[in-house]
Amino acid sequence: MNEFLSGIRRVFAYARVSTKHQSGLSIDGQFRMCERFAEFYNMTIVGKFSDKETGKVNTREQFDVMLERVYAGEVDGILCEKYDRFSRAGASGEVLIQKIEKETGIRVIAVAELMDTTTPVGRAMRGMRMLFAALEREETVDRTIRRMKDMARYAYWMGGQPPLGYKVIDVQDKEGKLRKKLAIDEETAPLVRKIFELYADGKSQAQIVDWLNAQGYKTSRGGAFTKQSLHDILHNEKYRGIYTYFKGTKHNHHAKRDDVVRVPGGVPAIIDEELWDQVQKRFRAHAGYKHRYLLAGLLKCGRCGGYMHGHGGKEPDYRCIKHKPRLTIRKSKIEDFVLAYIKYEILEAVTDIDFELMAHEINAQATQRDHTRKQMIDKLTLELSRLQTDEERLIQAIKAGIGLEGLKEEAQKIKQRKEEIKLKLSQLRGPGGNDYIKVQELKENWELMKKRFYEGTSEQKEMVVRQLIDEVILHPSGYIQVIQK
């Protein structure tokens, strides 16, 4: 059984958590799964590597060190918990894995997604699994956002640093649960009113920033004021008593969107409507053309490698600001190119998907993993029973005073091994296991991505773009290079 694993004896173990803020416990858990797998299949882990980085970062320090040793021929394979822990989910993750396997002759093995990737079907299944993993993450994000938005409609504070002029207090909801809400901070609220009054009276943003810093005032995060932080204050509707949630996007805090939660009267107002209107009237008088830049944070200059920035006006463009003459391209030209690339090279390039075969393969692999897990549970349970018997015999011997010091040391080793086995058994028997999937679920996940791209809002289309595309490079020759995730 699992003949494709034959010949793999020396392996590296690789683990990754999604952000630098996640606990190292997740990495330890991934390594434990790899260790159990290696033990069961008589493999030896000769090195462990881990990164605390987002999967979108091109350079992962430990990952690169591991690959250097892989290309030096030190191992037969690499173990990871799941394929999306090894590389980005999506098409480019599969390309990277195939490239490493072809050039080095090793095998990348996801111990929780065991499949025979020595066959074309197996490799195709791995690629599709990585793509669907990306879709599943998007669904999880959507569900989380829906729950957060439901909470926000009650004007509960959803976490983070409160705006200048406010503090967070505890309140009880209808069910008696403690929630957080914003209340006026009487120490800093007067400064907020002063800022609005200065701008309404004609002071420029630069003048106000200089005055605030000269007086030693600090932002809500304890830093010096900038034009950006001042701009955020003067546009924050909370100061007029309207609680807002889900404004902007990750890459554009001020982006307009039509699904913002707005609760009039949800927070106590610091300024009145008259002062708010005076400030916004000044902004409108200076407002120019506003555009949504789909490739913000994705488009890079092929000359210097830096990000290209959107530049407004009647004919908006993207431009690199580091060099003269500037490398520029019309906004409509490059955005249309990238959208067409996604349509024809990704979404419509994958045709005649046999979802039934795919579901059958995934579920067959899940069945195999369940069988393997049961074998490991049986093996550990038997060992635990033997250790229990040995421990009871040692206890009797210790009570009889036979070889006291040596027996105590042996008893301690048995106790430690028992704890290790109990921990492994609890993990093997715990929730999470192998997911069985239905044909309809596969179809729905695939169609969901296509529907978002073809029929969704501009925000949903942007989500698909950022889900599928890692970066776009504009070369000085005019060549546009699109790099998939």
Same domain, 410 and 456: no
| Residue at a domain's end among 234, 255, 286 | 286
| 115 inside domain | yes
Which range marks the domain in which residue 260 is found?
166-286
In a domain, 263, yes or no: yes
147 has which bridge partners?
Answer: none
Is 157 contained in some domain?
no
Kindly state whether residues 347 and 376 are assigned to the same domain.
no
Taking the CA atoms of residue 137, residue 140, residue 141 and residue 145 in that order, the dihedral angle to the nearest 10 degrees is 170
Task: For residue 365, tell me if it sits in a domain.
Answer: no
- Give the helix, strand, coil percentages of the chain, each rounded to 5: 50, 15, 35
* Annotation says 23 is catalytic: no
Angle ∠(333,337,342) on CA atoms, nearest 5:
155
Q: Are residues 117 and 27 in the same domain?
A: yes
Whether 376 and 446 share a structural domain: no
Q: Judge whether 72 lies within some domain.
A: yes
Do 389 and 304 have their domain in common?
A: no
Residues 17 and 138 in one domain: yes
The per-residue pLDDT string of the chain (485 residues; one tens digit each, 9 = 90 and over) reads 467 788 899 999 999 886 544 544 588 888 999 999 999 889 999 999 998 765 444 457 888 899 889 998 999 999 998 887 887 545 556 677 878 888 888 999 988 888 887 777 777 777 676 666 666 666 666 666 677 777 778 888 877 889 999 999 998 887 788 888 999 999 999 999 999 999 999 899 999 999 999 999 999 989 999 988 999 999 999 999 998 886 655 545 555 566 678 888 889 999 999 999 999 888 877 655 467 888 988 899 988 888 888 887 778 899 987 777 778 999 999 999 999 999 888 888 767 777 788 788 777 777 877 887 888 888 889 988 888 888 888 777 766 766 666 677 787 888 888 888 887 787 677 554 456 778 888 788 778 888 888 888 887 888 888 878 888 999 988 999 998 87
In this structure, is residue 125 part of a structural domain? yes
Q: Do residue 185 and residue 52 come from a single domain?
A: no
Q: Are residues 447 and 332 in the same domain?
A: yes
Residue 414 lies in a domain: yes
Q: How far is CA 16 from CA 35, 48, 50, 84, 112, in A?
A: 15, 11, 5, 9, 14
Question: Is the CB of residue 225 less than 8 Å from the CB of residue 219?
Answer: yes
Instruction: Identify whether residues 135 and 208 lie together within a single domain.
Output: no
Q: Of 394, 411, 434, which residue sits at a domain end?
A: 434
Tokens of 406: 């040596």
Q: Is residue 28 part of a domain?
A: yes
Catalytic: which of 6, 18, 229, 426? 18
The predicted model scores a pTM of 0.42
Say if residue 274 is in the same domain as residue 418. Answer: no
- Cα–Cα dist 471/452, whole Å: 20
Residue 33 maps to which CATH number? 3.40.50.1390
Whether 451 and 480 share a structural domain:
yes
| Domains in the chain, number | 4
Domain shared by 105 and 27, yes or no? yes
Kindly write down the DSSP assignment for every residue of 292-316, as one continuous string.
--TTTTTEEETTT-PBPEEE-SSS-
